[in-house]
Amino acid sequence: MKARFKVGDHVTVLELNKAGHIRTPFYVRGKVGQVMQYCGNYLNPEELSVGKTAGPAVPLYRVRFRHCDLWSGYPRGEADQLCIEIYDHWLAPAADA
């Protein structure tokens, strides 16, 4: 699968309502972040956790979020950030992009 996003793109994390082994934390779902890095293509850990090892490799991105965008009332500066890796199927282009 080809990478859909490039460094600098703004993306929105989707709410997929998946059960089981999920690597996408609840606190980033519905939030807008910025792609920092394309990490490569890897098998989907959600599929691997249930024994499905023949699926396609999925693009993985490192995405940056400002703390103040994740947690209302965040008491520190706007420079504080969280960087996490998120698979392509959890992301959509941000509406303001």
H-assigned helices in 1-97: 45-48, 67-70
Name the residue with tokens 């490039």.
6
pTM of model > 0.85: yes
Among candidates 47, 36, 75, 43, which has minimal Cα distance to 59?
Answer: 43
| pLDDT level of residue 74 (50, 70, 90 thresholds) | confident
Please, are residues 31 and 65 in contact by the beta-carbon 8 Å criterion? yes
92: pLDDT strictly greater than 60: yes
Range scoring the smallest mean pLDDT among 15-24, 53-62, 83-92: 15-24
Give the 3-state secondary structure of residue 57.
Answer: strand
Task: Give the per-residue pLDDT at 47.
Answer: 84
Kindly report, residue by residue over 20-69, the tens digit of the pLDDT. Answer: 668 889 999 999 999 999 999 998 888 888 888 888 899 999 999 998 88
Domains, in order of start, for the chain: 10-93 (2.30.30.50)
97: pLDDT strictly greater than 60: no
